Every structure is written in structure tokens, then in C-alpha cells.
Amino acid sequence: MMEGMSGDLLTELGKNLVSGSLSDRDLMRQTVGPVERILPEANVVKIGGQSLIDRGRAAVFPVLDEIVANLPRHRMILGTGAGTRARHAYSVAIDLGLPTGVMSVLGTFVSMQNARMIHYLLARHGIPFIEPAQFPQLPLFLAERRAAVFFGMPPYTFWQQNPAIGRIPPHRTDTGSYLVSEVFGTRSMIYIKDEDGLYTADPKKDRHAKFIPKITVAELKAKDLGDLVVERAVLDLMERAVHQRSIRVINGLVPGNLTRALNGEDVGTLISAD
Amino acid sequence: MYDETTHPPDARHHLASLLMRESLIDKQVVAATETRTPLLRMLPEAHVVKIGGRSIVDQGATALPALVTVLGEVLKTQKLILSTGGGVRTRHVFSIGIDLGLPTGVLAQLALADALGNAHILGALLSPLGVVAIPPEMFGHLLPLFLHSAPGVIFNGDPPYSLWEHPPEIGRIPPHRTDAGSYLLAECFGCANVILVKDVDGLYDADPKTHADARFIPEIGVAELRAMNLETLPFDEVLLDLLERSRLVRRFQLINGLHPERLARAIAGENVGTIIHAD
């Protein structure tokens, strides 16, 4: 019963949490404080699905070579996007009237296929693929092998929230990868895509699109762009983040970009919450 | 949208589909997915009933057995998806975790265990009826099968966000807790009802324990409730955001489990507490 936990063992915050309401804003303000960085030396690197992996060997092999070349200097948690097969599955699901949570399951399967392929190509370097249940082993793999592969979809499955508009899961592989970097307090979050970074419009569709090398989340939201290079949910999460206050988007089709980004150089687009 | 007459085929290998080559972030593309195809209700006859952790389960013999008796009656004719909150053990582990400097995602991961423990407590009491706590790893995928085979199932109400929990607006407490997880499951499966069983009659415009003149609110919409700017809410605040984006389950009801007979009436569709609905 409740009395059993109200003894001297509890901190003042503990007493307030046990008896108070978690919707009480005053109480929530007491829950701030320093947060440990769990994996401060690791980098989360997300490999795009439609942008990179769907291009096959021509795009994937140079990126993997660059990942391997950076293993001696950098630890990498490698997330994968989903891509065109997810778009196909989403299209079928929309046609059948399936809810967003089921589409989230379908997207997970596709990003898992991509994670498996990336993992097999890196297997000779001892790099494992880990599912969410295996994340407790991640620190060991990073210490021993310097990298691990995971699927970028957050494991929300049937509990994926509806989007404000439409039916496509709003939290996909950009978001799942970002949240890994935030919870572990990693030194960077790098998205490998097939464009130089953020533009004022999709450069694949609008040749007048202008490149944006650096921008804040607030500025970006104010622009209210029709399309973006990362999922919109990432921007909302960045504003509330404790650790991962910036993300970088780079063009993985350009050799050397990943190395520069891992080294902290200014390449691609830097989006920051501050 | 991508126009092949003005753009050459690219080096990406696409599968032909409605969304082929499209940016899923593009506003026009996203809006086009809001089709007239009606959403499927996978479990339209099931009711999701969340049994409060601190409010009911932690009270032990004073609250739970009477509620279990009513649940047994209801389970004779209705399919129930039962969930539980984590209660004071979750509050305790939050306070220790915050003191140790652990992030929100870790707190969310830790909290899963408390609600799962409470799910097993409820499962022990309901085991004569074949209603048991299902491991979270298989629960969602096998839910229709379980519900076809048994009158009800129990899960830990937490959504499986774990390390992937969102940072909250203020402080460190995971925003998607067991009320939210129970609601999200019902929304995905298109269930008949969501009922949150707590130890208050419903929603008041002030805390009735400290304000004798607190006014009871039998039914209210999200916008009106937001405008009232209440100091506290007797459910996960994020439910308001989720209701605003609801497609299938447009309301939930909050009832007092210390009057267990109200549960049967709520499942029958009566308002015996407070109904909160999307606008």
C-alpha cells in the first residue's frame, strides 16, 4: 500500500512524486536536473532508405567503406531508413483502410530488412545488428567493435500515434534514430541522405531550390516549408531535448562527407534547437 | 509531386506505388493519404479498461477484489482488453532514476516493469476465468487471437516507447504512460470504448479533496478542457493531444473504481463518470 513507500528512504522529490499528480506542472518543474550522457563518445548515423540503400551498391558500398575507415577513430550506432518498399506497403495499407499503427508495423519490417543488409555487409568487421530488445548489449558492441546496426523505426508498432493529417506514421526512421541519440546523449546525430542538406524546396522537384547550410529549428518552423529533409517530428523533439540539440544532414553520395561530419567539420546542413 | 516528363528517371530503384519517389514529409503527399477509404476497425467489439495503479491496484484488498468480481460478471458477455498502471512503484523508480541523472527514455523503460507487475497481479486474480497478463513482446501482434480464445486479456498499459520515449515539455517524467498506452491501443484496433478506472468520480474543476466547492464535470470536449487550464488532470495529459488526432476512438470515460458497479454501466455505454471527447 501507499504507506509502505512514504518512509525516510524517499527524497523530497520522491515523496512528492508518490503523492502528487504527474500532470502538475509545479511538480514536473522539480524533475529537472543534470542528466548523464550514457554514450557520450558514440555517434548515431542514419543511412537513408530511399535516398541511399535503394540505390544499391553504387551508393551503399562507398558509404560502408567510409564507415569502416572511420572505425578506429569513431564509434557509430548505425540506423537504417525504410525507403520505397515502405512506400509500397503504406500505399497498399492506405488503400485497404488500415490504421496508422499497422502501417508502423509494416514500416518496421522494411527498415529491418535494410538493417539486415547493412549488417551482413559489415559482418566481416564483427559489427552486429541489434533489435530493440538487444540494446542493453550496445555498449559492449561499441567498446569491442566500435559500431552496431539497428533499424531506424521506433518500436511503437500498434501504439504509433496518428499524424495530424493523413495516415502515414509520423514517427519513422529519422525520429527513431534521433531518439536513440537523445536518450544516450551521443556526440552527434548525422543523417546520410542523397542531397547536400536542407533546401527551401525538394531539389529533386524544384531546380530553384536554395541550399540552407545552417538554420535553427525556430527559423525552420517559421519558414513553414512544404517539404523538409528530415521528419517534422524530429524538430519538435529537438526543442524538448536535454542532450541532442542539433542534427546534421549530409550527402552520402559525396565521398568524404561522412568523415568530415564525424570529425565535427561543417558539412551539409546543421539544424540546431538553440 | 515528381513529374517524370520533366525529370529523368533517377538512380534509386523504386517500386511502383502511390507513394513512389515521394517525400513522406511533403505536405501535399501527406494530405493525399487522407483518403475516403474508411479506416478498418480490427476489434470493434472489444472494450479497453485501464485499472489505475496508484488509485486501485496499490490499494490491495480494499479496492481490487470488488472490482474483479464485477469484471468477472462483465467478462461473461463482453470482450475486455485490460491494462494496468504502474502505481507508486513507478513513482518511486522515477524519483530514484531522476536523482541518478537518468534520461526520460530510461525512466520509460524502467516503468514498464511496474505496470507489468500489476498486470500479473490482476492476472492472478482473474486466472480462473482464463484472463492472464500477456508478455508485451507478443501482445499487440497476437491480440486478436488471444481475444478470440479468451474472454479478456491483460497487458501493461505502457506503450512500448521505452528508450524511444519523447522528452517531455517540462522536466523528465515520460509523457506517454499507461493511460496513453491504453488509449493508443484502442485507437489502433478501433475498440468500442476506453474506460479509465481510478479512485475519483471523474473530472472536477478543482481537486475535490482540497476544494469542497469543486464542480463536477460529467462531459467535456478537449478544447474546452484546455481552455480551463486546470492545475492537474486525473489522466495522462498527452491524451488530449492524442484525442485531437483520433480517427476511430473519439472519447474516453473516467470512472471511480471504488464503486465497481459503475464499470458494468460504463461498458454498457452509460456515462457514470466523466466523458472526455474530441471536438
User: Which among A24, A97, A157 is the nearest to B232, CB-wise?
Assistant: A24
Instruction: Supply the pLDDT for residue B102.
Output: 97
Of A226-230, B145-149, B181-185, B186-190, minimum mean pLDDT range: A226-230
* Proportion of chain A above pLDDT 90, given as a percent: 90
- Inter-CA distances, B172 with A105, A132, A155, B249, Å: 28, 22, 21, 29
Average pLDDT, integer, range B160-165: 98
**How far is CA A28 from its chain centroid?**
26
> Cβ contact (<8 Å) for B172 and A31?
yes
Instruction: Supply the pLDDT for residue A127.
Output: 98
The answer to whether B36 faces chain A, any CB pair under 8 Å, is no
Containing H/E element for B154? Answer: strand B152-156
Query: Does residue A9 carry a pLDDT above 90?
Result: no
Amino acid at B263: L
Rounded to the nearest integer, the mean pLDDT of chain A is 94
> Cβ contact (<8 Å) for B33 and A204?
no
> Cβ contact (<8 Å) for A156 and B22?
no
Instruction: Supply the pLDDT for residue B219.
Output: 98
Which chain A positions have a beta carbon within 8 Å of B185's beta carbon?
158-159
Instruction: Supply the pLDDT for residue B245.
Output: 96
Q: How confident is the model at residue A5 (pLDDT cuts 50, 70, 90)?
A: low
Do A75 and A142 meet the contact criterion of CB atoms below 8 Å apart?
Answer: yes
- Tell me the pLDDT tens digit for each residue of B15-41: 878 787 778 888 888 888 887 789 999
Query: Does residue B86 carry a pLDDT above 80?
Result: yes
- Tell me the pLDDT tens digit for each residue of B67-78: 999 999 999 999
Average pLDDT, integer, range B172-183: 98
Which chain A positions have a beta carbon within 8 Å of B25's beta carbon?
227-232
User: Which among A22, A35, A84 is the nearest to B101, CB-wise?
Assistant: A35
Residue of B nearest to A31 (CA): B171
* Proportion of chain B above pLDDT 70, given as a percent: 97
> Cβ contact (<8 Å) for B103 and A38?
yes
Instruction: Supply the pLDDT for residue A186.
Output: 98
- Tell me the pLDDT tens digit for each residue of A250-272: 999 999 999 999 999 999 999 99
Q: How confident is the model at residue A158 (pLDDT cuts 50, 70, 90)?
A: very high
Q: Is A42 exposed, middle or buried (0-12, 13-18, 19+ CB in 10 A)?
A: buried
What is the ipTM metric for this complex?
0.91
Of A118-132, B23-37, B95-109, minimum mean pLDDT range: B23-37
- Tell me the pLDDT tens digit for each residue of A16-60: 999 999 999 999 999 998 999 999 999 999 999 999 999 999 999
Strand residue runs (E) in chain A: 42-47, 75-80, 147-151, 188-193, 198-199, 211-212, 214-216, 246-251, 269-272
Do A233 and A162 meet the contact criterion of CB atoms below 8 Å apart?
Answer: no
Query: Does residue B87 carry a pLDDT above 50?
Result: yes
Taking the C-alpha atoms of residue A131 and residue A254, their distance in angstroms, rounded to an integer, is 30
Query: Does residue A1 carry a pLDDT above 60?
Result: no
Q: How confident is the model at residue B6 (pLDDT cuts 50, 70, 90)?
A: low
Q: Residue B38, Cβ neighbours under 10 Å: how many?
A: 9
DSSP B233: -
Give pTM, 2 decimals.
0.93
Instruction: Supply the pLDDT for residue A227.
Output: 87
- DSSP SS3 for B276: strand
- Tell me the pLDDT tens digit for each residue of A177-201: 999 999 999 999 999 999 999 999 8
Containing H/E element for B47? Answer: strand B47-51
Average pLDDT, integer, range B104-110: 98
- DSSP SS3 for A188: strand
- Strands B193-198 and B47-51 come out as parallel
Comparing CA positions, the residue from A133, A130, A136, A164 lying closest to residue A150 is A130
Instruction: Supply the pLDDT for residue B208.
Output: 82
Contacts of B172 (CB under 8 A, 6+ apart): A31, A32, A33, A35, A242, B94, B98, B103, B104, B107
Higher pLDDT, A274 or A259: A259
- DSSP SS3 for A265: coil
The answer to whether B61 faces chain A, any CB pair under 8 Å, is no
- Tell me the pLDDT tens digit for each residue of B225-263: 999 999 999 999 999 999 999 999 999 999 999 999 999
A-B CB pairs within 8 A amount to 269
The residue count for chain A: 274
Which chain A positions have a beta carbon within 8 Å of B106's beta carbon?
38, 183
> Cβ contact (<8 Å) for B185 and A159?
yes
> Cβ contact (<8 Å) for A11 and B18?
no
The residue count for chain B: 279
Which chain A positions have a beta carbon within 8 Å of B26's beta carbon?
202, 226-227
Average pLDDT, integer, range A1-15: 68
Which 85-114 residues of chain B touch chain A by CB within 8 A?
88-89, 91-92, 94-96, 98-106
Taking the C-alpha atoms of residue A244 and residue A259, their distance in angstroms, rounded to an integer, is 20
Query: Does residue A7 carry a pLDDT above 70?
Result: no
Closest-CA distance of chain A to residue B268, Å = 26
* Residues forming a β-bridge with A44: A77, A189
Taking the C-alpha atoms of residue B227 and residue B25, their distance in angstroms, rounded to an integer, is 31
Cell numbers linked to B127: 486466472
